[in-house]
């Protein structure tokens, strides 16, 4: 494993040095190893887990000159180091290097730097979003376990479409207009859109809101009209703001 590991890590390190990343101290990771690279606003890690035979490229934001440990998987490979096949190693190296050098990751680095400078770094990623929805639909926790055991990670778009969208749509279509559950979903989607990272905002708009059926939208519109007719001016403004981030609730 040592030779294979060194080949992969050294190539990733070469690619990241061009973006002013430096290698930090290696860490133990679930019985395996993790090589960490830190920059001004982002960190990367190459991680190998023997129990699952997975080698992953991960990223997270920097916080107080150290990774914030809210790792997101960018690429994941099944790999048995005992085989030590050069073709496998080369494929992993090419994929990891192409990922960190690709235009999306370079753009993400620039965005993270700007957010860090403004003190507006968001940690509300898709994993955070899944946990928030699990607070409303507890059965999502079991779905997440199945998803990760099957794919090694929770696929943001696919998991949302399969497990969150049907539940949200059912709640909107089946609950009474004054239902606390329905109002809770409206507030959650508003919060996620307002404070989530780019991935979360895209999922809220493109996967959830754009996929709600007409019946759910019509029923939800009634909720918004009732909300706007209640409370003091300040509360009404707050609820109208919620509907701005949850267009399906717009009257």
Contact between residue 45 and residue 72 where contact means Cβ atoms under 8 Å apart: no
Number of domains in the chain: 2
What pLDDT score does 186 carry?
Answer: 86
On the question of pLDDT at 124 being above 70, the answer is yes
Could you tell me if 155 and 92 lie in one domain? no
The tens digit of pLDDT for each residue in 78-91 reads 877 776 566 678 88
So what's the pLDDT on residue 161?
A: 94
The answer on 150 and 88 residing in a single domain is no
Last residue of a domain, one of 55, 87, 118: 118
**Strand duo 32-38 + 42-49: pairing:** antiparallel
The residue among 66, 99, 118 that closes a domain is 118
Which of 138, 111, 119 shows the shortest CA–CA distance to 199?
Answer: 111
SS3 category, 37: strand
pLDDT at 153: 87
Q: Which of 149, 154, 181 is nearest to 72 (CA)?
A: 154
Q: In terms of residue numbers, what domain contains 81?
A: 2-118
Confidence (pLDDT) at 195: 84
pLDDT, tens only, 155-186: 999 999 999 999 998 888 876 666 787 888 88
The verdict on 101 and 180 lying in the same domain is no
In the chain, the DSSP E strands lie at: 22-23, 27-29, 32-38, 42-49, 54-63, 66-67, 72-78
- Do residues 50 and 14 both lie within one domain? yes
Task: For tokens 């494993």, name the residue.
Answer: 1
Residue 80 belongs to domain with CATH number: 3.90.1150
Judgement on whether residues 198 and 235 belong to the same structural domain of the protein: yes
Q: Indicate the residue among 118, 137, 164 that finishes a domain.
A: 118
Mean pLDDT calculated for residue range 26-55: 87
Surface-to-core class of residue 24, CB atoms within 10 Å of its CB (0-12 exposed, 13-18 middle, 19+ buried): middle
Q: 245 and 131, same structural domain?
A: yes
Residues 75 and 180 in one domain: no
Distance CA 159, CA 119 (A): 30
Q: Averaged over 141-165, what is the pLDDT?
A: 91
Residues 154 and 212 in one domain: yes
> Residue 118 — very low, low, confident or very high, per pLDDT cuts 50/70/90?
very low
pLDDT tens-digit map of 201-229: 999 999 998 887 554 444 444 433 443 44
Per-residue pLDDT, 177: 61
pLDDT at 34 over 60: yes
Q: What pLDDT, on a 0 to 100 scale, did the predictor assign at position 21?
A: 92
Say yes or no: 12 and 97 in one domain: yes
Q: Tell me: do 107 and 138 sit in the same domain.
A: no
Q: Are residues 182 and 235 in the same domain?
A: yes
Antiparallel, parallel or unpaired: β 54-63 and 42-49: antiparallel
Pair 19, 88 in one domain: yes
């Amino acid at each position: 494993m040592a030779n294979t590991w060194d080949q992969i890590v050294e190539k990733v390190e070469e690619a990241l040095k061009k973006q002013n990343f430096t290698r930090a101290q290696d860490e133990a990771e679930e019985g395996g190893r993790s090589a960490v690279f830190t920059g001004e606003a982002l960190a990367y890690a190459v991680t190998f887990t023997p129990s699952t035979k997975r080698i992953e490229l991960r990223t997270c934001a920097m916080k107080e000159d150290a990774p914030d440990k809210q790792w997101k998987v960018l690429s994941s490979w099944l790999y048995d180091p005992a085989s030590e096949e050069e073709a496998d190693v080369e494929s992993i190296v090419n994929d990891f290097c192409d990922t960190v050098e690709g235009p999306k990751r370079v753009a993400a680095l620039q965005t993270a730097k700007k957010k860090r400078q403004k003190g507006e770094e968001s940690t509300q990623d898709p994993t955070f979003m899944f946990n928030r929805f699990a607070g409303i639909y507890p059965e999502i926790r079991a779905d997440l376990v199945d998803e990760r055991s099957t794919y090694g990670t929770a696929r943001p778009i696919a998991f949302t479409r399969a497990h969150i969208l049907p539940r949200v749509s059912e709640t909107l279509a089946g609950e009474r207009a004054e239902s606390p559950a329905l109002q809770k979903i409206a507030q959650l989607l508003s919060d996620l859109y307002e404070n989530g990272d780019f991935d979360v905002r895209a999922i809220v708009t493109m996967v959830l809101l754009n996929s709600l059926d007409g019946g759910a939208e019509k029923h939800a519109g009634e909720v918004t009209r009732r909300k706007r007719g209640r409370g003091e001016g300040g509360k009404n403004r707050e609820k109208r703001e919620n509907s701005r981030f949850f267009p399906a609730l717009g009257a």
